[in-house]
Chains A and B, each alone.
Chain A
Amino acid sequence: EAQVTQNPRYLITVTGKKLTVTCSQNMNHEYMSWYRQDPGLGLRQIYYSMNVEVTDKGDVPEGYKVSRKEKRNFPLILESPSPNQTSLYFCASSSIEGASRSPLHFGNGTRLTVT
């Protein structure tokens, strides 16, 4: 089954403790991206990657890092989490080739709480 898998689904951590949220897709998609969703603010893009080793900032990249060493994985790294990074996070992927390249496929989300 084609899917985007995020782990963990829920995470509670403390300020300053480094964490990684993983994202993996099994559709051989070139494009992957991360979003955060907060009440009243909708979905805001954090980072995106057009292909392996190619990443770029979205609208709210501060406090986050990403890496794209393999095509299927796009982890989101919080080196020193702060309470304002408490949010619901979504990973998405899509192909960029041919007529089928447009739809974004989203994961089920990771709810992060930083205390």
Chain B
Amino acid sequence: DAKTTQPNSMESNEEEPVHLPCNHSTISGTDYIHWYRQLPSQGPEYVIHGLTSNVNNRMASLAIAEDRKSSTLILHRATLRDAAVYYCILRDLAGGTSYGKLTFGQGTILTVHP
């Protein structure tokens, strides 16, 4: 199953944009890129996902490289409530083995300074 690589930690100031990178050099053609975040003392929650095109929702934007070997989660204006661990994973929605077996890794710890 394809793996992802993320920086261990990143810092940002409140009200500033945050770009969280994820490398997935062994991504397959049917792998979707998913992002989740885990707030302190909570279970992970879904943020956004995409296949090839950039995606926007109320929480964030997802920018996907043309070769799909990397992606970036963009928080346009970080708030203190965005301080969390962010996970990038791959899910094969064509029904391949990586649909069921998921590897989250350690994620990126985002610290937001007031």
Of the residues A41, A50, A102, contact of B91 by C-beta under 8 Å? A102
Q: How far is the CA of A105 from the CA of B93 in the complex (A)?
A: 16
- Identify the B interface with A (CB < 8 A): 32, 34, 36, 42-46, 49, 87, 91, 93, 95, 99-107
Name the B residues within 8 Å of A106 (CB-CB).
43-45
| Cβ B106 vs Cβ A104 within 8 A | no
Over the window 95-115 of chain A, the binary record of Cβ atoms lying under 8 Å from chain B Cβ atoms (1 yes, 0 no) is: 010000111111111000000
With A102-B34, A102-B93 as contacts: A56 and B100 at CB distance below 8 Å: yes
Q: Are A109 and B91 in contact (CB under 8 A)?
A: no
**Smallest beta-carbon distance A3→chain B, Å:** 11
A104 and B99 in contact, given A40-B106, A41-B106, A42-B104 (Cβ under 8 angstroms): no
Report the nearest A residue to B45, measured CB to CB.
A106
- Counting CB contacts under 8 A, is A45 at the interface? yes
Tell me whether chain A's interface is mostly helix, strand or loop, or mixed: strand
For residue A11, CB closer than 8 A to chain B, the reply is no
Kindly report which residue of chain B lies nearest to residue A50, judged by CB atoms: B100
The residue in chain B whose Cβ has the minimal distance to the Cβ of A49 is B100
| A44 neighbours in B (Cβ, 8 Å) | 104
> Would B107 and A42 count as touching, CB distance under 8 A?
yes
A35 within 8 A of B: yes
* A16-58 interface bits toward B, Cβ cutoff 8 Å, 1 = contact, 0 = none: 0000000000000001010100001111110010100000101
The 7 A-B pairs at the shortest CB distance, nearest first, are namely A106-B43, A42-B106, A43-B104, A103-B46, A48-B100, A106-B44, A42-B105
